[in-house]
Amino acid sequence: MKPVLNALTLVMISAGLSGCGYLFGEDGYFRDRGSDYRTAVVEPRMTVPAELNSKPIGDLLPVPGQRGASTSEGKFELPRPQGLSVAADFSEYSMQQNGGERWLQAQRAPTSLWPQVRQFLSEYRVPVATESTTIGEMETGWLAFDQDADNPLMRRLLPAVGANRRTDGQEQRFRIRVEPGVQSGSSEIKVLHMQRSQGSDRSEWPSVSDNSNLERALLAELETYLSQAGELDSAALSTVDEAPAARRTTLDQDGAGNPVLNMSTDFNRAWAAVGQALAKADVQIADINRSAGVYYVNPDQSAEADKPGFFGRLFGRDAKPEQDNAQRTQVRLTPVGNRIQVTVEDSIDTSTDSSQARELLRRIHDNLN
């Protein structure tokens, strides 16, 4: 039955193509309307009866009049109208949160962001106790809300302390980290807050902020400052060699000598970043299993290679049988401690060829960084 229907469809298409002029010609239904504006006429303005209230109505798309006599003797060609420029709201900085973790996402490289964060602390008169440009980390000195009431940062952060929290007899400090983001050219700013009683010898940083409200408030202050500061003359403040050198992804080997891509981030962001990297590398993703952390890919095929043409989809020709997921190359994401390991496998128990796995991981790594 299917061959008969296919043949009948082909005959109907052939008959239709012989009369394409009725569909796509100058008088056809699907004719090109790109030049219809040339024949447009200016209609008289709409008049509102005097007994009705009206507001001035301006021209949404005003057409300029003739600006001068043309000296050309040839036929005047009416130019196409200029496209409307639409400015979308865009900010280089945005607050992000994943569970209890929050950070300031910046669409700038750490090399340009580091001196701006340093300048922020300088302008807010916040002492810097220690800093390491190698890991992109700086620690502030101790500040107290009661003793440093004239400090501009303390005044800005005081409302965020909370109604039931003490400020007298307490001192605060912050640790700020500028880390490379998952995507190339981006950064993440993370803040950790620590509080202790004045005179205490407590010096070890907590695993999470003692007051998450102050952590959030400092990130908000940084977001406002960086958004308004724009570009600084950072050449005098920092050089590329002095900027944070830590990277979020590294191509290494495991204990058995198999190539592995280590990503210093959480699973959700790693999953999204690897998917985007595969798309940028033009690697075909045949299937996914997010719960298992696996992308099933065909490394030798382009993402566009398998798509059949119109007639192929119509008649079902050249359709390739679906390949079982167990036979496809697997890009697997595995949480290990505080990082994600990306490996390439033929199956969950079998690693793929070392050179092929390294090449695919290199393509992913290059499109992440």
279, pLDDT greater than 80: yes
Residues in the chain: 369
Compute the C-alpha angle 76/78/79, nearest 5°: 125
Q: Round to whole Å and give the CA distance between 116 and 174.
A: 17
Between 209 and 50, the more confident residue is: 209
Q: Round to whole Å and give the CA distance between 85 and 348.
A: 51
> What does the block give as tokens for 369?
């960084």
Between 204 and 252, the more confident residue is: 204
Q: What was the pLDDT predicted at 237?
A: 40
Highest mean pLDDT among 47-61, 186-200, 237-251, 261-275: 186-200
Q: What was the pLDDT predicted at 337?
A: 84
> What does the block give as tokens for 152?
């501009």
Q: What was the pLDDT predicted at 240?
A: 41
H-state helical runs in the chain: 2-17, 20-24, 110-123, 152-157, 212-229, 267-280, 310-315, 354-368
Q: Round to whole Å and give the CA distance between 365 and 341.
A: 12
Tell me the percentage of the chain whose pLDDT exceeds 70.
Answer: 68
pLDDT in tens, 85-127: 444 455 789 988 888 889 999 988 888 889 999 999 999 999 9
Q: Round to whole Å and give the CA distance between 367 and 360.
A: 11
Q: What was the pLDDT predicted at 120?
A: 93
- Is the separation of the CB atoms in 286 and 328 below 8 Å? yes
Mean of per-residue pLDDT scores for the chain = 77
> What does the block give as tokens for 245?
């050198």
Question: What is the layout of strands, in order, in the sheet containing 187-197?
Answer: 93-98, 101-106, 187-197, 170-180, 137-140, 128-132
CA distances (Å), origin 204, targets 52, 179, 195: 76, 21, 11
66, pLDDT greater than 60: no
307, pLDDT greater than 60: no
Q: How confident is the model at residue 239 (pLDDT cuts 50, 70, 90)?
A: very low
What is the set of domains in the chain, with CATH numbers? 93-242 (3.30.310.220), 249-368 (3.30.310.170)
Q: How confident is the model at residue 176 (pLDDT cuts 50, 70, 90)?
A: very high
Amino acid (one-letter) located at 295: Y
Compute the C-alpha angle 14/16/20, nearest 5°: 115
246, pLDDT greater than 70: no
Residues ≥6 apart with Cβ < 8 Å to 234:
112, 115, 116
Q: Round to whole Å and give the CA distance between 65 and 153.
A: 57
Q: What was the pLDDT predicted at 283?
A: 87
Q: What was the pLDDT predicted at 118?
A: 92
Whether pTM > 0.85 for this model: the answer is no
- Is the separation of the CB atoms in 282 and 303 below 8 Å? yes
pLDDT in tens, 181-228: 877 778 899 999 999 999 899 999 999 999 999 999 999 999 999 988
Tell me the percentage of the chain whose pLDDT exceeds 90.
Answer: 24
Highest mean pLDDT among 19-28, 33-42, 47-56, 139-148: 139-148
175, pLDDT greater than 90: yes
Q: What was the pLDDT predicted at 164?
A: 76
Q: What was the pLDDT predicted at 86?
A: 47
Lowest mean pLDDT among 62-66, 222-226, 309-313, 325-329: 309-313
